[in-house]
Structure 1
Amino acid sequence: MAKEIRLNAFEMNCVAHQSPGLWRHPRDRSRDYRRLDYWTGLAKTLERGLFDGLFLADVLGVYDVYGGTPDAALRNATQIPVNDPLLLVPAMANVTRHLGFGVTATLSYEAPFPFARRMSTLDHLTEGRIGWNVVTGYLDSAARALGRTGQNAHDDRYAIADDYMEVVYKLWEGSWAEDAVVADAAHGVFTRPEGVRRVSHTSAHHRLDAIHLSEPSPQRTPVLYQAGTSPAGRAFAGRHAECVFMSGPSKTVIAPRVAAVRAAAAAAGRDPAEIRIFALMTVIVAPTDAEAAAKLAEYRHYASLEGALTLMSGWTGVDFAALDPDQIVEHVDREAGRSALENITRADPSRRWTVREVAEHVAIGGIGPVLVGSPATVADALEGWVDETGIDGFNLAFVVRPETFEDVADLLVPELQRRGRYKRAYAPGTLREKLFGAGRALTAPDHPAARHRWHLAPTDTAPAEPALPA
């Protein structure tokens, strides 16, 4: 039986996300990113298209590597201005019943204790539809904004992240027993005190002595997404991630990365088949191939090459403003993200990219591939990606919002359903159950979060009624 294809929408609470300059398109609503009705309308569209989730990216700094200043980012609205992604979720959850929400939060700059409560709150408010995209950050400007001289070294960030995960697992899974809350009105006991433990944690990176402030939420630990594909990132994903987001220019590049992530999960003692892997993709679909090609040409008229190189400079730590447009891009190691530069310098030895070609490529859809055509043409390509790489689905970036997602919901989804490659209805339950099956609201037994989970010992007696104060 052919694998079901899964779709997430890839968005960001800003103007220009992966296609800089397209905010100028007459049909684009990117300037409405400040309005709740844009986001609630998008959520309804995605649920109509049976998307598994809305994946919200975020950064805490400004893209100031290009030219050494933030000017190009500001001029092109390149992920600035940018608002908080978490605050969008309750409003969108209120107008949907099934759509999941994967929110990006940088653990390098978030204290574990308040962050754990924030995610538990979202899991309660969404009735178990929240996920966390675990990132360590890649912008020096973010580190400076948080009072540091610069970000930690790339691999060191993942070592710190491992420790952070241990802290939040203890809070989400180990502070409250699954059956601590009894809400016993007759005896005046809401929570059995013996069902709540104080979390103590002392390490080189974090110190904590506290009770988690939230009662157990539907999923306890949110669905965990992760996007690093460097060796350190893959090892981290193998230990912690339930869903992995990766990018690559071709199937031949993505396939070994998929295999490496699954191998990392196996090395960590987890079932590699349990990892859901999503590849970055941009889809431009229209009723016919010719109409789709015309739409792409129209879109390119508005694309900003400067905005594209501003993004690429931030992702890689390489100042593309200092390079000649016809210069071949060579690989250099930086403490920013690693995979973006590897995609154009090491992924395909037969291809040498000039700066100009990088700009033209990134200007529509970022560093991922772009599929253009009729519903049948695009569906053929998506099937090939899934069947030949082992991915489970796609994080779909937009070009014009919300037009890109409306076209997917109205044109592409029916074609995939006709082929038996896409669901016709949502499965019941939490986001984790929708991804992994009924009865799977909590992390799998082989996941490191699960070892902290506990239950109270069975008792045949009702909780004692508390004595009144003297």
Structure 2
Amino acid sequence: MPRPIRFNAFSMNAASHQSPGLWRHPRNTSTDFNRLAYWTDLARRLERGLFDALFIADVMGIYDVYQGSPHPALRGGVQVPVNDPMLLVPAMAAVTEHLGFGVTFSLTYEHPYPFARRMSTLDHLSDGRVGWNIVTGYLDSAARNLGLDRQLGHDLRYDLAEEYLQVLYKLWEKSWDDDALVLDRETGRYVEPTRVHPIGHAGAHFQVPGMHLCQPSPQRTPVLFQAGASARGQQFAAKHAECVFISGPTPTVLRRYADGVRQASEAAGRARDEVLIYAQALLIVAPTHEQAQARFDQYRSFVDIEAALTLLSGWTGIDLDGLDPDAPIQYVENDAGRAALAAFTAADPSRQWTVREAAQFIGLGGRGPVLIGTPSEVADQLEAWVDQTGIDGFNLTYAVQPDDLAHVVELLVPELQRRGRYPRGYVDGTLRHKLFGKGNRLTAHHVGSRVSIQQPNTGYSNI
């Protein structure tokens, strides 16, 4: 029996996300991103389409690598202005019952203790439907605005992330016993103090002696998403991630990334299929092929090439303004996001991309493919990509909101259901249980379940 195809939606709390320039399209409502109704309408639509989750990207900084200035990003609205993704979740959770919410947060610039409380709060308010996309950041502008001369080195950020996760696991998984909350109205005892534990963390980067401020949420630890495609990123994902997002322009690239994730998971002592892999894609679906092609051609006329170069320069850490547009992109080791360059170079040595081709490609849908056609034609393409690459599903971006995702829900999902490649209903329970069918908590052999805590002399008493 063929595996089902899974969908997430890929968005950002900004007017322009993965299709620079398309905010100008007359049918695009993405400039309404400051209004709650924009997000609650989107959440309802995605739930009608039985999407696993809405995944919300984020950046803590501005794209100022291109021309050495923030002006191109500001002119083109390249992921700026951008609002906090976390604040959207309670409103969307209130109008849905099943849809999950994956929020991006960069761990490099904030202490884990307050972040642990915010995520526990979101997990409570969403009835256990929240996930966290673990990122370490890639913009020097973010580091400068948070008190550093520049961002930490690529691998050093992952070293920091390892300890950050250790602190979070201790707070989420070990600080409160399952039966700590007693709510005994007769004795007036709200919490049994002996069942709440200081974590006693003393590490190279963080000192956290005390206890978590929140009672255990439905999942305790949110579902863990990760998108690192470098060797170090894959190693980190193999140890921690439950869902991995990958991006690449061809099945060859995605197959290589997916195989790398599976092999790294096995090397870390996990099963090959223990991680769900979603690949980025833009789907342009219409009742006829001619209508779909016409929409694609119209979309291309709105692409802002300078904005695309601004986005790609920020991803790669290379100022593409100084390069010949017809020169091939070369892979360069740096401290920005390595996946963006690798997607166009080392990951597929059979193809040489020029700067111009890469900018035109990411102008619609970012680093993933654009699949165009009728519901039947797009379904054929999705089945082929899944079967050729070994991925589990797709992280669907959009060029025009709400049209692109609405057509997926209204036209494509019924076709995939007819083929037996898409679910016909949600499983009850938390996001983790919906995704894996094994309960609300991390598995017993996950590294987060196996952390231990010290009992420090903190001045607290468990008596």
With the length of structure 1 as denominator, give the TM-score of the two structures.
0.95
- Measure how far apart 1:210 and its partner are: 1.3
> Aligned equivalents of 2:175 and 2:94: distance in 1?
29
> Aligned equivalents of 2:55 and 2:6: distance in 1?
13
- SS of 2:209's partner is strand
Q: Which runs of 5+ in 1 are unaligned?
A: 455-465
> Aligned equivalents of 2:329 and 2:245: distance in 1?
25
- 2:111 — aligned with what? 111
> Aligned equivalents of 2:452 and 2:286: distance in 1?
49
- SS of 1:220's partner is coil
> Aligned equivalents of 1:256 and 1:76: distance in 2?
33
Q: What code does the residue aligned with 1:240 have?
A: H
Q: Any idea what the Cα deviations from partners look like across 1:442-463, whole Å, max 9, x if unmatched? A: 0011111112489xxxxxxxxx
> Aligned equivalents of 1:296 and 1:386: distance in 2?
23
Q: Does 1:208 pair with 2:196?
A: no
> Aligned equivalents of 2:385 and 2:350: distance in 1?
21
> Aligned equivalents of 2:166 and 2:431: distance in 1?
22
Q: Does 1:386 pair with 2:386?
A: yes
Q: What code does the residue aligned with 2:405 have?
A: F
- 1:314 — aligned with what? 314
- SS of 2:450's partner is helix
- 1:461 — aligned with what? none
- Measure how far apart 1:330 and its partner are: 1.6
- Measure how far apart 1:347 and its partner are: 2.5
- 1:328 — aligned with what? 328
> Aligned equivalents of 1:357 and 1:264: distance in 2?
32
> Aligned equivalents of 2:236 and 2:434: distance in 1?
24
Q: Does 1:371 pair with 2:371?
A: yes
Contact 2:166 2:451 (8 Å CA) reproduced:
no
Report percent identity of matched pairs.
58
> Aligned equivalents of 2:190 and 2:419: distance in 1?
51
- 2:448 — aligned with what? 449
> Aligned equivalents of 1:417 and 1:84: distance in 2?
35
- 2:352 — aligned with what? 352
* Count of residues in Structure 1 that have an aligned counterpart in Structure 2: 454
Moved more, 444-453 or 146-155: 444-453
- 2:151 — aligned with what? 151
- 2:407 — aligned with what? 407
- 1:241 — aligned with what? 241
Q: Which runs of 5+ in 2 are unaligned?
A: 454-462
Contact 2:245 2:277 (8 Å CA) reproduced:
yes
> Aligned equivalents of 1:110 and 1:6: distance in 2?
32
Q: Any idea what the Cα deviations from partners look like across 1:145-172, whole Å, max 9, x if unmatched? A: 1110011111111111011000000000
- SS of 1:103's partner is strand
- SS of 2:448's partner is helix
- 1:50 — aligned with what? 50
Q: Any idea what the Cα deviations from partners look like across 1:313-350, whole Å, max 9, x if unmatched? A: 00000101111222222221111011110111222223
Contact 2:226 2:237 (8 Å CA) reproduced:
yes
> Aligned equivalents of 1:328 and 1:256: distance in 2?
21
Residues 453 and 375 (structure 1), Cα distance of their counterparts in 2 relative to 1, 3 Å cut: farther
- SS of 2:83's partner is coil
- 1:142 — aligned with what? 142
Contact 1:178 1:453 (8 Å CA) reproduced:
no
> Aligned equivalents of 1:220 and 1:453: distance in 2?
16
- SS of 1:450's partner is coil
Q: What code does the residue aligned with 2:217 have?
A: S
> Aligned equivalents of 2:197 and 2:81: distance in 1?
42
Contact 1:284 1:292 (8 Å CA) reproduced:
yes
- Measure how far apart 1:29 and its partner are: 0.4
Contact 2:138 2:151 (8 Å CA) reproduced:
yes
Q: What code does the residue aligned with 2:400 have?
A: V
Q: Any idea what the Cα deviations from partners look like across 1:204-254, whole Å, max 9, x if unmatched? A: 111111110000000000000000011000000010000000111111111
- SS of 2:205's partner is coil
Q: Any idea what the Cα deviations from partners look like across 1:382-426, whole Å, max 9, x if unmatched? A: 111111211111100110011111011001101100000101111
Contact 2:56 2:104 (8 Å CA) reproduced:
yes
- 2:416 — aligned with what? 416
- 2:439 — aligned with what? 440
> Aligned equivalents of 1:182 and 1:43: distance in 2?
35
- 1:177 — aligned with what? 177
How do 1:7-406 and structure 2 match up within 5 A? 7-406=7-406
- Measure how far apart 1:272 and its partner are: 2.4
> Aligned equivalents of 2:54 and 2:149: distance in 1?
33
- 2:458 — aligned with what? none
> Aligned equivalents of 1:115 and 1:97: distance in 2?
25
> Aligned equivalents of 1:431 and 1:328: distance in 2?
42
- SS of 2:33's partner is helix
> Aligned equivalents of 1:273 and 1:358: distance in 2?
32
Q: What code does the residue aligned with 2:389 have?
A: T
Contact 2:199 2:208 (8 Å CA) reproduced:
yes
> Aligned equivalents of 2:204 and 2:69: distance in 1?
34
> Aligned equivalents of 1:125 and 1:356: distance in 2?
45
